[in-house]
């Protein structure tokens, strides 16, 4: 008898809580897999300048070198997810959240970040700066 | 019937149905001990008063606030610039939130150092610790609501911290953010948490906390008890009604004055609207009471013994909170001179010192 009541009560709780827990976690919305995009026109950025742009729903960083070449990296700090910025005065990438530094290739050089930033490929095609994930 | 008779009749009607005089009698019989640490007994009532202010001003803010990434910032801007006294209501809500956490800390640490958690008050401590977590939840979720840059990145870091907890992290992160990133979905979620889920939970836990306090009466610190015994003089006390409550009320009036002054002289700033695709600006930091954790994460090296520094830091802080919750079950027989008791007292001061220094470092000009 007790066993019967206990099992029914348990089943009832489960049938109430399971949908609620599932409801709380949002569904996976498959991100439009952007693997390549135009980040701007060649010449928009001055040498030794950087900008953050949206790349497949995530922030990415485009840097122009002094000699006109480009560098593209993920702009999401590997420490705790802040968005980094390029500091022309230091020729380094800086995260304001906990003072983390990366070099221009995305290698973590000081502060708390534990890993380098992911880097992307950049090509200039007909004056467009095209960024692509390998 | 004269007016007086009519009033008496109304009073009688209410009395028969509600029984207010019983409550008043209870208040008169309830005694509050009087000794050199009695001052700290006012901190709980002060926290309660400030929570009342939060509920009142929060409900007013609800009338204009719009919880979506496209409208939140603008609605708060409208509130601040166009709605008569909108700036006042919002500033009081923000200032009072900060004051509340500060007074809550005083209340909690005084209960800790005066050993008010000892048997039979373990559950009073435990419900109090849950209330601390709830208030930190209020502060964290409320911070995002104006949808400004500072709040956006504070939320990004704060939810990422939850995401780094081993095993449950990923689930917690998606649960909090309402997705993989901090977006408008996160804002809507935090709004629901801030104005419905946390208030509902707080009502229940606060009710239990107050019930336990009422059941057990005020705790007298063991040291004070021992001193009184040695001197052979029983401790003095005074009635809750009217003496203690009137003194409480003086404190509340003062707090209201302080709040009004702060809100008028330093209206709460709004900052700039959050842009998910902009870099985190210099000067990012959370509310001051999260400062010591923020500073800890900033100071830890990237790797410790092969583990990522921040993961170890997060685990250490979590362990600290678990110990804090479990204090009454670890320091079970606090008597002056007991070894465990002394260790806890020293540990408490060290923790407080660390928190104070780390918080100061957040605000130290670099
Ligand atoms: C039932 C109770 C409450 C309601 C209905 C409420 C409602 C609100 C609303 C609508 C906002 C957005 C408007 C704005 O940002 O100015 C807000 C912001 C905020 N709330 Fe609450 N709140 C409540 C309790 C609390 C408590 C207990 C705390 C703290 C312990 C708190 C802390 C905050 C903070 C820090 C903000 C951000 C202030 C800002 O920068 O504008 N709230 N609240
Ligand atoms: S999030 Fe970039 S240094 Fe912490």
- Chain segment A108-121, per-residue pLDDT in tens: 999 999 999 999 99
Q: What is the DSSP string of B63-93?
A: TT---STTTHHHHHHHHHHTSTTHHHHHHHH
Residue A78 lies inside a defined structural domain of this protein:
yes
**Interior angle at CA B227, CA B349 and CA B350, nearest 5:** 5
Average pLDDT, chain A: 91
A77 lines ligand 2 (CB under 6 A): yes
A20 touches chain B (CB under 8 A): no
Q: For residue B7, give both structure tokens.
A: 């009033």
CA of B239 to the centre of ligand 2 (A): 54
B176 close to B302: Cβ distance less than 8 angstroms: no
Fill in the DSSP letter of residue B194: I
Question: Is the CB of A75 inside a 6 Å radius of any atom of ligand 2?
Answer: no
What angle (nearest 5°) sits at the alpha carbon of residue B360, between those of residues B358 and B361?
65
Whether residue A64 is contained in a domain is answered as yes
Contacts of B54 by beta carbon, 8 Å cutoff, 6+ apart:
B93, B96, B97, B100, B138
Contact (CB<8Å) A52/B301: no
Per-residue pLDDT reduced to its tens digit, B234-287: 888 889 989 999 999 999 999 999 999 999 999 999 999 999 999 999 888 899
Q: With an 8 Å Cβ cutoff, are B279 and A99 in contact?
A: no
Instruction: Please give the pLDDT value at position B305.
Output: 84
Kindly tell me if the per-residue pLDDT of A32 is higher than 70. Answer: no
Enter the tokens of residue B200: 């509902």
Give the per-residue pLDDT at B106. 97
Confirm whether A59 is domain-assigned.
yes
- Candidate from B48-52, B137-141, B168-172, B186-190 with smallest mean pLDDT: B168-172
| CB of A64 closer than 6 angstroms to any ligand 2 atom | no
User: What is the pTM assigned to this prediction?
Assistant: 0.91
Q: What is the mean pLDDT of residues A8-24?
A: 92
Nearest to B135 by CA among B61, B208, B206, B209: B206
Residues in Cβ contact with B207 at an 8 Å cutoff, skipping those fewer than 6 apart: none
Asked if residue A94 is part of any domain, the answer here is yes
Domain count, chain A: 1
Position B304 scores a pLDDT of: 86
Predicted local distance difference test score (pLDDT) of residue B163? 92
Whether complex ipTM tops 0.90: no
Instruction: Identify which of B194, B259, B263, B269 to mutate to test ligand 1's pocket (most ligand atoms within 8 A of the CB).
Output: B194
- Annotate B1-70 with DSSP letters as a single string: --HHHHHHHHHHHHHHHH-HHHHHHHHHH-EEEESTTGGGGHHHHHHHHHHHHHHHHHHHHHTT---STT
- In the prediction, which pLDDT does B308 show? 84
Contact B310 A79 (CB under 8 A): yes
Q: Quick check: A25 and B175 CB within 8 A? A: yes
For residue B337, name the pLDDT band (cuts at 50, 70, 90). confident
Asked if A97 and B277 come within 8 Å (Cβ–Cβ), the reply is: no
CB within 8 Å of B220: residues ≥ 6 apart = B33, B35, B235
B279, B296, B299: best to mutate for the A interface, most A CBs within 10 A: B279
Contacts of A112 in chain B (CB under 8 A): 297-298, 300-302, 309-310
CB A111 within 8 A of CB A120: no
pLDDT in tens, B229-238: 888 888 888 8
Q: Please report, for chain B, the start and end positions of each structural domain, with discontinuous segments joined by +.
A: 34-363
Structural tokens at position B167: 């095993």
pLDDT of residue B132: 98
- pLDDT band at B325, cuts 50/70/90? very high
The CATH number of the domain holding residue A84 is 2.102.10.10
* Per-residue model confidence as pLDDT tens digits over B196-219: 999 999 999 999 999 999 999 999
Cβ <8 Å between A26 and B178: yes
pLDDT of residue A33: 72
Q: State the pLDDT at residue B303.
A: 87
For residue B152, the chain A residue with the least C-alpha distance is A82
pLDDT mean over A50-68: 91
User: Structural domain of residue A63, as residue ranges?
Assistant: 36-133
**What percent of chain B stands above pLDDT 90?**
81
Q: Are A92 and A102 in contact (CB under 8 A)?
A: yes
Residues of B in contact with A75 (CB under 8 A): 279
Mean pLDDT within B58-73: 96
For residue B175, count other CB atoms closer than 10 A to its CB: 17
Q: Can you read off the two tokens belonging to residue B195? A: 């104005």
- Express each pLDDT in A71-96 by its tens digit: 999 999 999 999 999 999 999 999 99
Q: Are B57 and B225 in contact (CB under 8 A)?
A: no
Q: Looking at the domain assignment, is residue A13 inside a domain?
A: no
Q: How many CB pairs under 8 A join A and B?
A: 79
Please state which CATH class domain B34-363 belongs to.
mainly alpha
Using CB atoms within 10 Å of the CB of residue A76, give its burial: 0 to 12 exposed, 13 to 18 middle, 19+ buried.
Answer: buried
First and final C-alpha spacing in chain A: 64
Q: How far is the CA of A101 from the centre of ligand 2 (A)?
A: 9
How high is the mean pLDDT of chain B? 93
Beta bridge partners of A92: A87
- Residue A57 has a pLDDT of 84
Residues in chain B with CB shorter than 8 Å from the CB of A80 are 156-157, 160-161, 164, 297, 310
Extract the tokens encoding B363: 């605000």
> Which of B41 and A1 is assigned the larger pLDDT?
B41
Q: Which residues of A touch B178 (CB under 8 A)?
A: 26
Residue A31, pLDDT > 70, answer no
């Amino acid at each position: 008898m007790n066993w019967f009541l206990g099992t029914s009560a348990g089943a009832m709780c489960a049938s109430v809580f399971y949908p609620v827990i599932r409801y709380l976690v949002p569904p996976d919305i498959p991100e439009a897999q952007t693997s390549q995009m135009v980040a701007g026109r060649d010449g928009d950025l001055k040498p030794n300048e950087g900008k953050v742009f949206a790349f497949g729903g995530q922030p990415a960083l485009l840097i122009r070198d002094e000699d006109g070449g480009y560098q593209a990296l993920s702009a999401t700090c590997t420490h705790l997810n802040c968005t980094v910025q390029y500091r022309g005065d230091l020729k380094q990438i800086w995260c304001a959240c906990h003072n983390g530094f990366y070099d221009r290739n995305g290698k973590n050089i000081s502060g708390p970040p534990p890993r380098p930033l992911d880097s992307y490929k950049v090509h200039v095609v007909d004056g467009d700066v095209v960024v692509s994930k390998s | 019937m004269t007016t007086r008779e009519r009033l008496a009749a109304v009073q009688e009607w209410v009395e028969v149905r509600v029984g207010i005089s019983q409550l008043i009698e209870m208040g008169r019989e309830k005694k509050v001990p009087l000794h050199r640490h009695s001052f700290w007994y006012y901190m709980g009532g002060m926290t309660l008063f400030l929570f009342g202010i939060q509920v009142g001003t929060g409900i007013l803010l609800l009338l204009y606030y719009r919880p979506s990434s496209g409208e939140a910032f603008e609605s708060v801007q409208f509130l601040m610039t166009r709605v008569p006294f909108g700036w006042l209501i919002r500033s009081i809500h923000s200032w009072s939130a900060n004051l509340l956490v500060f007074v809550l800390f005083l209340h909690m640490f005084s209960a800790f150092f005066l050993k008010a958690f000892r048997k039979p008050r373990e559950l009073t401590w435990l419900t109090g610790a849950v209330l601390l977590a709830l208030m930190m939840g209020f502060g964290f979720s409320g911070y995002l609501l104006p949808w400004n840059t500072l709040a956006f990145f504070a939320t990004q870091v704060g939810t990422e911290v939850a995401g780094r907890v081993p095993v449950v992290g990923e689930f917690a992160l998606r649960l909090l953010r309402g997705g993989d990133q901090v977006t408008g979905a996160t804002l809507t979620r935090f709004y629901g948490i801030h104005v419905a889920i946390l208030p509902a939970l707080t009502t229940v836990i606060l009710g239990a906390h107050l019930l336990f306090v009422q059941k057990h009466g005020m705790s007298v610190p063991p040291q004070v008890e021992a001193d009184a015994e040695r001197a052979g003089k029983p401790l003095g006390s005074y009635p809750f009604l009217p003496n203690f409550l009137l003194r409480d009320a003086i404190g509340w009036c003062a707090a209201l004055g302080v709040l009004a002054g702060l809100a008028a002289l330093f209206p709460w700033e709004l900052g700039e609207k959050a842009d998910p695709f902009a870099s985190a600006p210099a000067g990012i930091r959370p509310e001051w009471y999260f400062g010591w954790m923020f500073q800890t994460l900033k100071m830890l090296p990237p790797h410790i013994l092969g583990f990522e520094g921040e993961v170890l830091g997060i685990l250490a802080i979590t362990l600290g909170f678990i110990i804090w919750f479990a204090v009454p079950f670890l320091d079970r027989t606090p008597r002056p001179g007991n070894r465990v008791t002394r260790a806890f007292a020293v540990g408490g001061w060290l923790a407080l010192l660390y928190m104070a220094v780390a918080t100061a470092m957040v605000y130290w000009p670099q």
